[in-house]
Amino acid sequence: MENKIERKGQVIFSGYKYGEGIKKALKLSPQDILFELRESKLRGRGGAGFPTSTKWMLTAATLDPEKYLICNADEGEPGTFKDRVLLTEYFNLVFDGMVIGGYTIKAKYGILYLRGEYKYMVPDIEAHLEKMRKDNLLGKSILGKEDFNFDIEIRLGTGAYICGEETALIESLEGSRGEARNRPPFPVNRGYMGKPSSVNNVETFANIPFIVMKGGKWYSKLGTEKSTGTKLFSVSGDCEKPDVYELPWGTKVSELLELVGAKNTKAVQVGGASGQCIPKSQFDRMLAYEDLSTGGSIKIFNESRNMLHILKNFMEFFVEESCGQCVPCRVGNVKLLEGTEMLLKGEFTFEYINKLKELGRTMKIASKCGLGQSSPNPFLSILENFKDEVFNQGMEE
Ligand SMILES: Cc1cc2nc3c(=O)[nH]c(=O)nc-3n(C[C@H](O)[C@H](O)[C@H](O)COP(=O)(O)O)c2cc1C
């Protein structure tokens, strides 16, 4: 599959020489790297935005000599395809980032959890890992560092959205059904095989070599104060140039729409199916953790689109993908879908729809994992931001 990258930014797509980051990292101590990471204020790119330095520090601090570093390449959020680009054309960055991570947290094993649909990538990735072994960038005594042994294994997922959630991913790696675990204990203390594990997104790893080479201070000057660096956005929907864009955090939605050639835009879904849907009046908001947080998926809808059709599509996805383990998510998504269908038919009472909104808010608090905690977002935001259209179209269907 051919990738097109519309906008190269100052970090990930700025150019990188294979192995450079590892060479620099091995001249530093793990503590030095943690310091640079903290200075960079890098936050995980998988969606939740947890500080990477904290996650690595907690894993590094555990005394267990057996630890794991896991790269989350499940990329299941609808509309997200930036990790696919990284894993087909920029895997030197991702795997160099993993080796640096292994050195920092003192792990001997790295696992790439690759979504089943990306199986076609395996031969190329395997060939790259083999080259790294030949070049002594993977395996025993990496670059002559006697006590540093680290290797990476690829494991395939089998196509469940929930398996992108880090604890369900670990269950899946262990051969169990993909279901989220109770936390605590957190994976940094008890993860894969009960051992300390750090799970990070593909794009998070791709940032690491640059932070090591150019320093945390340099990185922290890009983006905004709370959202440093650049972000890869997977842009799809009604626009002339749907593709992957590397932009600094803090870019306004309106700026992005102009860049991608979006015309007559009615709505933008920020953060995939589980994100928020915003109307034109909010297009001056910025893409950043402190405003519109996103793992990278941007879906654009123009004036010709029916917001209830969009919502129905999202809710059908969540009904299908709920793992069924907890009641708020298993039953709640079905109820929100039924409510959407009632709105489409014009057969609803405001009292019932208000109850559904309350249910959505309860799901966000009571669901066991991020799936049910975020799946009501499109229901709540579309009903709030597109009131006129949603409540008036009724009998049109
Ligand atoms: C339902 C669900 C699906 C998720 N899917 C992914 C995914 O495909 N890739 C990913 O990196 N994180 C995904 N996450 C977030 C992970 O649980 C976790 O926060 C992330 O891998 C941590 O990496 P980071 O700190 O580098 O962001 C998902 C979370 C939920 C609740």
pLDDT digits (tens, 9 = 90+) for 192-221: 999 999 999 999 999 999 999 999 999 999
Query: Is 326 a member of any domain?
Result: yes
What residue numbers bound the domain in which 262 lies?
Answer: 230-302
> Does the pLDDT value for residue 304 go beyond 70?
yes
- Tell me the CATH number at 31: 3.40.50.11540
pLDDT band for 1, please (50, 70, 90 cuts): low
Strand ranges of the sheet holding 230-237, from the earlier edge strand across to the other edge: 5-7, 244-248, 230-237, 297-302, 265-270, 276-279
The answer to whether the CB of 372 is under 6 A from ligand 1 is no
Last residue of a domain, one of 185, 217, 249: 217
pLDDT band for 392, please (50, 70, 90 cuts): confident
Query: Is 225 a member of any domain?
Result: no
Query: Is 391 a member of any domain?
Result: no
- Tell me the CATH number at 351: 1.20.1440.230
Would you state the structure tokens that stand for residue 68, as one six-digit string? Answer: 């794991």
Would you state the structure tokens that stand for residue 240, as one six-digit string? Answer: 């002339």
Q: Mean pLDDT in the chain?
A: 96
Please tell me whether residues 89 and 206 are part of one structural domain. Answer: yes
Nearest alpha carbon, ligand 1 atom 24 = 44
Please tell me whether residues 319 and 248 are part of one structural domain. Answer: no
Please tell me whether residues 40 and 186 are part of one structural domain. Answer: yes
What is the number of structural domains in the chain?
3
pLDDT band for 346, please (50, 70, 90 cuts): very high
- Tell me the CATH number at 292: 3.10.20.600
Please tell me whether residues 313 and 296 are part of one structural domain. Answer: no
pTM (2 decimals)? 0.96
Query: Is 224 a member of any domain?
Result: no
pLDDT at 397: 45
The answer to whether the CB of 164 is under 6 A from ligand 1 is yes
Query: Is 392 a member of any domain?
Result: no
The answer to whether the CB of 76 is under 6 A from ligand 1 is yes
β-pairing, 109-114 vs 68-73, is parallel
Please tell me whether residues 159 and 201 are part of one structural domain. Answer: yes
Query: Is 395 a member of any domain?
Result: no
Query: Is 176 a member of any domain?
Result: yes
Contacts of 81 (CB under 8 A, 6+ apart): 75, 234, 236, 244
Best substitution site from 41, 69, 70, 72 to test ligand 1's pocket, by max atoms within 8 Å of Cβ? 72
Last residue of a domain, one of 161, 183, 217: 217
Please tell me whether residues 171 and 86 are part of one structural domain. Answer: yes
Spatial separation of the C-alpha atoms in residues 317 and 77, rounded to whole Å: 10
SS3 362: helix
Please tell me whether residues 297 and 311 are part of one structural domain. Answer: no
Last residue of a domain, one of 302, 324, 349: 302
Query: Is 366 a member of any domain?
Result: yes
Please tell me whether residues 211 and 244 are part of one structural domain. Answer: no
Please tell me whether residues 127 and 213 are part of one structural domain. Answer: yes
Please tell me whether residues 141 and 278 are part of one structural domain. Answer: no
Length, in residues, of the chain: 397
Ligand 1 midpoint to CA 107 (Å): 21
Spatial separation of the C-alpha atoms in residues 94 and 71, rounded to whole Å: 9
Question: Is the alpha carbon torsion for 223, 226, 229, 234 positive or negative?
Answer: negative
The answer to whether the CB of 67 is under 6 A from ligand 1 is no
The answer to whether the CB of 201 is under 6 A from ligand 1 is yes
pLDDT at 245: 96
Please tell me whether residues 157 and 87 are part of one structural domain. Answer: yes
pLDDT tens per residue, range 56-79: 999 999 999 999 999 999 999 999
Give the H/E segment covering residue 234: strand 230-237
Please tell me whether residues 74 and 92 are part of one structural domain. Answer: yes
Q: Scan for tokens 């935001």, then name that residue.
A: 381
